């Protein structure tokens, strides 16, 4: 008796990991067991018909998943939208205000590695449902801002997930790996060791972390920065009461949504076209966009006390260029990591990126602002300048992110080839260690 994997899904398996509802089936032999075709070698080309969904059903499932992700970000940025009101009500400094966001994000991320590991080995729909239940329960028990609204929306999301999103069978690529590796499951520690030796994954994760650091600081502090810039220009009275004018939060939110949508589409399309002539297109698109975004953000900060219009223009350009990376970095991860480790890889990248990125940057930016303000006269202008100067460090972080993706480009093709070899069960002699780590045998071979 032998186990026969389905045909190699190629890029379709990668799309399946990102949300497309398609996977190859397994050959079913006598007795109903996968690949049980009697003694002797497996007959070629006996894979069953692909599992698929009607187009409208796939679009509906994608819309539900987008709705769930939207609620996730609404939870993350609700404090930023009311930051001035919170600071006035509790009389807290910038450093303490930034600490609110840091503690909130860190508490949400404690379970990410666990759920990533479970998603690699169990039903993803069930894992996601449990995650939403825990997430909405934590938000309900800890939030003092409109607690009756978001939990209701999250309950609707859970119902829609259960009712409308199917749970597709595991991809054929994962089953091929099990056959090639002797159907042995690797442990979480072995998966992490494999990812730690995957340099494209390591450098791209550091790049994503730097991007998250900047976007976290912008998302939390930019509305207050723009409000204080309007005060400096005499267009707005200082906010000294409990309820402040949140017009700048609304403008910045609209700007972020519009540039985010355009940036994601633009980055994905540029990567698709550029990849036809350069196999390292994904990492180079990320690097170029970030290296251009750094001076845009710098000019947005420097010009804010001089002209608000120019500051908004360069801020929009910077956010557009930052948004070009989100779809592309997902492609990088899917192309350099074998399917059975992708859930763990996503969880690790999310955890590291958020804890060292947008969980830390609001507090660090606020801490620098409070430190600078403590040695200056107590005035609104000095408060604005302190926040402006604390933001300048983000421009250097963006440049570092660009450097990380340049380093990713140096290893990208090699790591993609290695992932394809392990995926199809035909690793070369140079991949003995990676194969051993994934198969759980504990064999070690020195990486050249």
Query: Comparing C-alpha atoms, which of 134, 101, 102 is closest to residue 115?
Result: 134
CA terminus-to-terminus distance, the chain: 37
Q: Distance (Å, rounded) from C-alpha 39 to C-alpha 197? A: 39
Q: Are residues 211 and 144 in the same domain?
A: no
pLDDT at position 105: 79
**Residue 407 resides in a domain:** yes
List the structure tokens of 68: 């769930």
Statement to judge: residues 271 and 326 lie in one domain: yes
Asked if 152 and 281 sit in the same domain, the reply is no
pLDDT value at residue 29:
39
DSSP element (H, E) containing 14: helix 11-18
Whether 117 maps to a domain, the answer reads no
- Looking at the fold, whether 247 and 348 belong to one and the same domain comes out as yes
Residue 381 forms part of a structural domain: yes
Same domain assignment for residues 284 and 415: yes
Enclosing domain of residue 151: 55-91+124-166
- Give the integer Cα–Cα distance in Å for 299 and 362: 21
pLDDT tens digit at each of 448 positions of the chain: 344 433 333 333 333 333 433 333 334 333 344 443 433 433 344 444 566 778 898 899 999 999 998 888 887 777 777 888 888 888 888 888 888 888 877 776 777 777 877 877 778 888 888 888 887 776 666 555 544 677 788 889 989 999 998 887 765 445 545 544 444 567 888 889 999 999 999 999 999 999 999 999 999 999 889 988 998 988 888 877 666 777 778 889 899 999 999 999 999 999 999 999 999 999 999 999 999 999 999 999 999 999 999 999 999 999 999 999 988 999 999 999 998 888 889 989 988 998 899 889 999 999 999 999 888 888 888 989 999 999 999 999 999 999 999 999 999 999 999 998 876 554 444 444 445 444 444 433 334 3
For 41, other C-beta atoms within 10 Å of its C-beta total 8
- State whether 324 and 372 are in the same domain: yes
CA dist list (Å): 349 to 192, 195, 333, 403, 437: 11, 10, 9, 18, 19
Structure tokens at 14: 């990668």
Same domain assignment for residues 142 and 241: no
- Does the residue 224 lie in any domain? yes
Domain co-membership, 369 together with 229: yes
- pLDDT value of residue 139: 65
What residues have CB less than 8 Å from 361, skipping those under 6 apart? 212, 213, 214, 216, 217, 220, 394
Picking from 246, 370, 394, the residue whose alpha carbon sits closest to that of residue 315 is 394
In this structure, are residues 172 and 25 in contact, taking their beta carbons and an 8 Å threshold?
yes
Nearest alpha-carbon partner for 322 in 208, 411, 408: 208
Residue 299's CATH number: 1.20.1250.20
Q: E strands of 240-366, at which residues? A: none
Please count the structural domains in the chain: 2
Dist CA 79 CA 39 (whole Å): 64
235 and 339 fall within a common domain? yes
Tokens of 136: 């909405």
435-437-443 Cα angle (round to 5): 85
Alpha carbons within 13 angstroms on the beta-carbon side of residue 79 total 22
SS3 call for 36: coil
284 and 196 both lie in a single domain: yes
User: Cα torsion for 289, 294, 300, 302, to the nearest 10°?
Assistant: -160
Other Cβ atoms within 10 Å of 70 Cβ, number: 12
**Do residues 267 and 158 share a domain?**
no
Taking alpha carbons only, the member of 193, 213, 169 closest to residue 34 is: 169
| Domain assignment of residue 257, yes or no | yes
In a domain, 445, yes or no: no
Same domain, 155 and 244: no
In Å, how far are 4, 104, 208, 221 from 98, measured between CA atoms?
54, 10, 21, 9
CA separation, residue 313 to residues 319, 320, 348 (Å) = 10, 11, 35
Residue 314 sits at the vertex; the CA angle it makes with 82 and 285, to the nearest 5 degrees, is 105
Residue 37 lies in a domain: no
Degrees (nearest 5) of the Cα angle 426, 432, 433?
135
Residue 38 domain-assigned? no
Which residues, in sequence order, are bridge partners of residue 34?
28
pTM of the model: 0.73
């Amino acid at each position: 008796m032998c186990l026969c994997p389905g045909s190699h899904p190629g890029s379709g398996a990668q799309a399946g990991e990102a949300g497309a509802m398609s996977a190859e089936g397994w050959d079913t032999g006598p007795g109903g067991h996968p690949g049980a075709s009697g003694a002797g070698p497996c007959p070629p080309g006996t894979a069953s018909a692909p599992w698929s969904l009607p187009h409208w059903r796939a679009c509906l499932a994608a819309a539900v998943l987008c709705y769930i992700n939207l609620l996730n970000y609404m939870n993350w940025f609700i404090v930023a939208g009311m930051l001035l009101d919170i600071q006035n009500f509790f009389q807290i400094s910038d450093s303490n205000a930034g600490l609110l966001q840091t503690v909130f994000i860190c508490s949400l991320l404690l379970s990410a590695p666990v759920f990533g590991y479970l998603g690699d080995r169990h039903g993803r729909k069930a894992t996601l449902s449990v995650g939403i239940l825990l997430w909405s329960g934590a938000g309900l028990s800890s939030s003092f801002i409109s607690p009756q609204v978001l939990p209701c929306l999250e309950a609707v999301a859970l119902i829609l997930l259960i009712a409308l999103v199917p749970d597709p069978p595991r991809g054929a690529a994962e089953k091929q790996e099990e056959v090639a590796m002797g159907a042995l499951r690797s442990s979480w520690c072995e998966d992490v060791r494999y990812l730690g030796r995957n340099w494209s994954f390591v450098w791209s994760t550091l790049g994503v972390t730097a991007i998250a650091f900047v976007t976290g600081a912008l998302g939390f502090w930019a509305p207050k920065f723009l409000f204080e810039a309007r005060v400096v220009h005499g267009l707005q009275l200082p906010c000294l009461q409990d309820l402040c004018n949140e017009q700048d939060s609304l403008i910045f939110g609209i700007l972020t949504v519009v540039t985010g949508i355009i940036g994601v589409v633009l980055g994905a399309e540029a990567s698709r076209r550029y990849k036809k002539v350069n196999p390292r297109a994904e990492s180079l698109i990320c690097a170029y966009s970030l290296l251009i975004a750094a001076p845009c953000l710098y000019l947005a900060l420097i010009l804010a006390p001089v002209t608000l219009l120019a500051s908004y223009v360069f801020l929009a350009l910077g956010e557009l260029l930052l948004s070009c990376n989100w779809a592309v970095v997902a492609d990088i991860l899917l192309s350099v990591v074998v399917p059975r480790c992708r859930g763990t890889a996503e969880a690790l990248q999310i955890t590291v990126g958020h804890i060292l990125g947008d969980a830390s940057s609001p507090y660090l930016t606020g801490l620098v602002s409070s430190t600078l303000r403590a040695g200056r006269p107590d005035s609104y202008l000095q408060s604005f300048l302190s926040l402006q100067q604390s933001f300048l460090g983000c421009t250097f972080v963006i440049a570092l992110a660009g450097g990380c993706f340049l380093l990713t480009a140096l290893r990208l093709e090699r790591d993609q080839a290695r992932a394809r070899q392990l995926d199809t069960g035909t690793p070369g002699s140079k991949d003995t260690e990676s194969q051993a780590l994934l198969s759980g045998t504990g064999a070690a071979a020195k990486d050249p």
